[in-house]
A and B are shown apart, each in its own frame.
Chain A
Amino acid sequence: MNALIRWIDDRTGLVSGIAACREAPVVGGAGWMKVWPCTIMFSFVVQAISGFFLWMLYSPGAQTAWESVYYLQYEIQGGWFLRAVHHYSAQVLLVLVAIYLIQMIVTGAYRAPREFKFWVMVFVGLVVLGLMLTGDLLAWDQNSFWATQVRTKFLALLPAVGGDLYKLAIGGPAFGHLTLTRFVALHVGLFTASLGGLLVFYVWAARKATASELNKDRDTAASVESTYWPNQALRSGVACLIVMGVVVYFALSHGTSGGAAGVELGAPADPADAYAAARPEWAFLGLYEFSNKFPGELKLLPIFVFPTILLAVVLLMPIVGRFLIGHVFNILFTVVILGALAVLSFQALEHDRLSENHQQALADGQQQAERVKLLAQSPQGIPVGGALTLLRNDAKTQGPKLFEQHCASCHGHFSVDKDGEKQGIVPEKVSAPNLAEFATRGWLLGMLDPKKIVGPDYFGETKFKRGDMAGFVKETFEDLEDGDIEDRETLLMALSAEAALRSQKAIDARDKERIAEGKDLIADDFGCTDCHKFHDEGQLGDGPELTGYGSRQWILGIIANPAHKRFYGDGNDRMPAYAETPQEPAKNILTDTQIGMLADWLRGEWYEPPQELAK
């Protein structure tokens, strides 16, 4: 056995190398304040291990990055925890580097012959920041996308080369596949390798520094009371375990199951819809707030000039610190910078906390993230085009946006709550019917109410206020007796059943007989078919067709072209045709998909998970 060990050691020096590490002298004896380098290395290895497993699950690509992280987070057992460990140990690593640097400054440990230990640690800190900035984007959710967008756009501030640097950083004129391939190569390749290399160099420099101290000074040599093993090694081991404990605590702090567990994953990045609550990570909040204090023309100062000066001062510290006054300056400088960063970070957080707009944007973002998760978990799953297409084709989220953009200058879509406040989309100036609950029994009841039909929620602000329909309703439904009220109700049931709304499925089935009766009322007793076509009765041309009134097909038709003879024909009042030429889609205001989403939203029909629908 010994022969084998000697044989290996002879050729590699491994065994004696390890022994030398164990026997390495610890100047000033073992202590708890000497655990930092070891915890930093431990955090790095934790990062490397967790990062490696994340890497095996990650797919860089604009339509696959978020999707693969989603899969990791919600589908792979323990995936959320792996991601959380990687995320939080990165934050812890940065904090540990900062603590160690501050300790070196305050205790003067950066002075000769330990300058290189300090300098290497400064670069370790910089590479860790680089890892955070590149790693942040990889999730490709709204916050990471837009925060990175802002950061990289700052490159454009640099004179002459700015625009080109921006393109180089993101791999093209705009964010996309190549941004991710670049960032992933920087993150898992260049920066990780650099960090590993720097830490190895740190150990080398540290041992050289110790040797040089011992050589120079016999007193120091005498003060060596301990070797690395076991006193210091065991202390460091305990410290590493505490570090892991902190990481696990944070990883579990949002629960162990459900959507919030681990690290938040926002809605997938949408290059065409900026995230209004995008903010940098905590480590950059101070700089963010600081740069906000400068007007646009001077942005170069806080973003590039001051940080460079700061770095230069820090790098010069071991030299300046040779003199007592220099050492005092270094300490004061450190205290001032840290204090300023703390105050600025607090200001940034406080400002956002008090900003209604910011809170609203956060809430919207959260809602989107939850919605897309729900859609991704639907039987449809995530299509090849990426999860963003789920949101873009989702009637629940897109419907109101489309309505606001294209319909809400005339139509409202609101209800009135018990305090008399209008809830929903309220136009500045109503000039067309309120379409909330359109084609439901309740909505149609208003249409057949002599007062309401000429009110603002129906025809009040249109030319139909004085039209035949309003006249018919006044004539027919004023001063109703009990029997007439029941007849009108039967009529409403039949007409509303034409829409086949999901929300009325149960009552439509219950009232099957009255609906059949009502169909006859429409055709015969009330004479609706004098003006409207209804199934086999009546003709097109005078008023909108009642066959399938409020159905998806019917709504698609009227949005596409209200002046079609199936709807208002020549009598159409101001409503534009949104898709007049099906044969030439490019000429239409809205695409078929958009109109489809509007129709589904108006009908209240969008994907909900089965248990929600059952309620």
Chain B
Amino acid sequence: MTQSTSLSKTPAGKARRGFLGNTIALLLGIVGYSVPVITGIVTFLNPLRQKVQAGQFMRLAALDVLPDDGTPRKFPVIADRTDAWNRFPNEPVGAVFLRRTGKQQVEALQVVCPHAGCFVGYDAKEDEFLCPCHNAHFDLSGKRKDEKSPSPRDLDTLEVEIRNDSEVWVKFENFQTGTPNKIVEA
């Protein structure tokens, strides 16, 4: 570390100088390396500053195309998407299950399973939603069917508006997975 120890006369002085030298060397090292380490970490933490776009109403389908018997149908959500330096206009960014619950009433469910983010599918045979990754079952309104469901909450419902009596508009949002409460991704 340092040559100064060889100059010391007494053992006590040797130890003291050795300690001083070690400390100085350590400090020099810390200060020197802190420049690349800290700047590196700052850029590494950049994702924390990135926010998800706030949810907005989008037209997903014509009311006519939803079956009267309440069978759910999956619709892709098309929106502009940004991936780091690229912007992709009008790309599918997710999907929503729409289900008619009345003449002018529609229910919308996120396809993203609240457990671990897979997409649930509609199982026509059982007339239910099934998440293929860890086998969580949900009824048509999104309620968990299993006694011990892998999912910590029911499927996430989305706000729906029927506009001009014929268009289904949905406020598309993504929610945090794994939490018992529905928290909008931010």
B18 at the interface (CB under 8 A from A): no
Given A62-B83, A178-B84, CB of A146 within 8 Å of CB of B118: yes
CA distance A113 to B149 in the complex (A): 48
Kindly supply a per-residue 1/0 record for chain A positions 242-284, scoring 1 wherever the CB is within 8 Å of any chain B CB and 0 otherwise. Answer: 0000000000000000000000000000011110111000000
List chain B residues, Cβ under 8 A from A63.
86
List chain B residues, Cβ under 8 A from A273.
92, 95, 119
Min C-beta distance of A423 to chain B, whole Å = 16
Task: From A146, A153, A157, A294, name the one whose CB has the most chain B CB atoms within 10 angstroms.
Answer: A153
Number of A residues with CB within 8 Å of any CB on chain B: 51
CB atoms of A162 and B67 under 8 A apart: no
List chain A residues, Cβ under 8 A from B50.
167, 172-173
CB atoms of A178 and B118 under 8 A apart: no
Question: Which residues B68-84 have CB closer than 8 A to chain A?
Answer: 68-69, 71, 73-78, 83-84
List chain B residues, Cβ under 8 A from A358.
132
B135 at the interface (CB under 8 A from A): yes
Min C-beta distance of A292 to chain B, whole Å = 5
CB atoms of B47 and A295 under 8 A apart: no
CB atoms of B119 and A153 under 8 A apart: no
Nearest to B77 among chain A residues (CB) is A272
Min C-beta distance of B5 to chain A, whole Å = 26
List chain B residues, Cβ under 8 A from A22.
none
CB atoms of A272 and B92 under 8 A apart: yes
Contact of B85 among A177, A277, A297, A591 (CB under 8 A): A177
CA distance A163 to B186 in the complex (A): 9
Question: Which residues A574-596 have CB closer than 8 A to chain B?
Answer: 574, 576, 589, 591
Nearest to A169 among chain B residues (CB) is B47
Contact of B152 among A149, A170, A173, A299 (CB under 8 A): A299
List chain A residues, Cβ under 8 A from B91.
272
Report the stretch among B9-17, B24-32, B176-184 that lies at the interface.
B176-184
List chain B residues, Cβ under 8 A from A154.
116, 178
Nearest to B53 among chain A residues (CB) is A173
CB atoms of B64 and A576 under 8 A apart: yes
CB atoms of B178 and A357 under 8 A apart: no
CB atoms of A168 and B116 under 8 A apart: no
Given A173-B51, A273-B92, CB of A405 within 8 Å of CB of B150: no
List chain B residues, Cβ under 8 A from A429.
67-69
Kindly supply a per-residue 1/0 record for chain A positions 17-51, scoring 1 wherever the CB is within 8 Å of any chain B CB and 0 otherwise. Answer: 00000000000000000000000000000000000
CB atoms of A277 and B150 under 8 A apart: no
Contact of A177 among B51, B86, B95 (CB under 8 A): B86
B143 at the interface (CB under 8 A from A): no
List chain A residues, Cβ under 8 A from B1.
none
Given A157-B178, A299-B152, CB of A409 within 8 Å of CB of B65: yes
B90 at the interface (CB under 8 A from A): yes
CB atoms of A357 and B130 under 8 A apart: yes
Number of A-B contacts (CB under 8 A): 139
Contact of B47 among A162, A171, A296, A361 (CB under 8 A): A171
B162 at the interface (CB under 8 A from A): no
List chain B residues, Cβ under 8 A from A162.
178
Contact of B83 among A149, A177, A357, A591 (CB under 8 A): A177
A76 at the interface (CB under 8 A from B): no
Kindly supply a per-residue 1/0 record for chain A positions 159-189, scoring 1 wherever the CB is within 8 Å of any chain B CB and 0 otherwise. Answer: 0001110011011111011100000000000
CB atoms of B115 and A406 under 8 A apart: no
CA distance A154 to B185 in the complex (A): 15
List chain A residues, Cβ under 8 A from B21.
none
A473 at the interface (CB under 8 A from B): no
Given A292-B134, A296-B152, A357-B130, CB of A405 within 8 Å of CB of B75: yes
Question: Which residues B19-67 have CB closer than 8 A to chain A?
Answer: 44-45, 47-48, 50-52, 59, 61-62, 64-67
A156 at the interface (CB under 8 A from B): yes
Nearest to B179 among chain A residues (CB) is A156
B171 at the interface (CB under 8 A from A): no
List chain B residues, Cβ under 8 A from A271.
93
Min C-beta distance of B77 to chain A, whole Å = 8
CA distance A81 to B50 in the complex (A): 40
List chain A residues, Cβ under 8 A from B52.
173-174
CB atoms of A272 and B178 under 8 A apart: no
List chain A residues, Cβ under 8 A from B71.
428
CB atoms of B84 and A406 under 8 A apart: no
CB atoms of A272 and B76 under 8 A apart: yes
List chain B residues, Cβ under 8 A from A178.
47, 84
List chain B residues, Cβ under 8 A from A406.
61, 65
CB atoms of B48 and A168 under 8 A apart: yes
CB atoms of B132 and A357 under 8 A apart: yes
A516 at the interface (CB under 8 A from B): no
Kindly supply a per-residue 1/0 record for chain A positions 397-412, scoring 1 wherever the CB is within 8 Å of any chain B CB and 0 otherwise. Answer: 0000000111101000
List chain A residues, Cβ under 8 A from B178.
153-154, 156-157, 162, 296, 299
CB atoms of B69 and A167 under 8 A apart: no
A-B contact sample (15 more), CB < 8 A, given A153-B177, A164-B48, A296-B152:
A150-B116, A168-B47, A173-B50, A173-B185, A177-B85, A272-B92, A272-B93, A278-B118, A295-B148, A296-B153, A357-B121, A405-B61, A409-B64, A409-B66, A589-B61
CB-defined A-B contacts under 8 Å, sample of 20: A153-B116, A153-B178, A154-B116, A156-B179, A157-B178, A171-B47, A173-B50, A177-B84, A272-B92, A292-B134, A295-B149, A296-B114, A296-B115, A296-B149, A296-B152, A299-B178, A404-B73, A406-B65, A428-B69, A428-B71
Interface residues of B (CB under 8 A from A): 44-45, 47-48, 50-52, 59, 61-62, 64-69, 71, 73-78, 83-86, 90-95, 111, 114-119, 121, 123, 130, 132-135, 148-153, 166, 176-180, 185
Question: Which 6 residue pairs spanning A and B have beta carbons closest together?
Answer: A296-B152, A274-B119, A176-B83, A272-B92, A276-B132, A295-B148
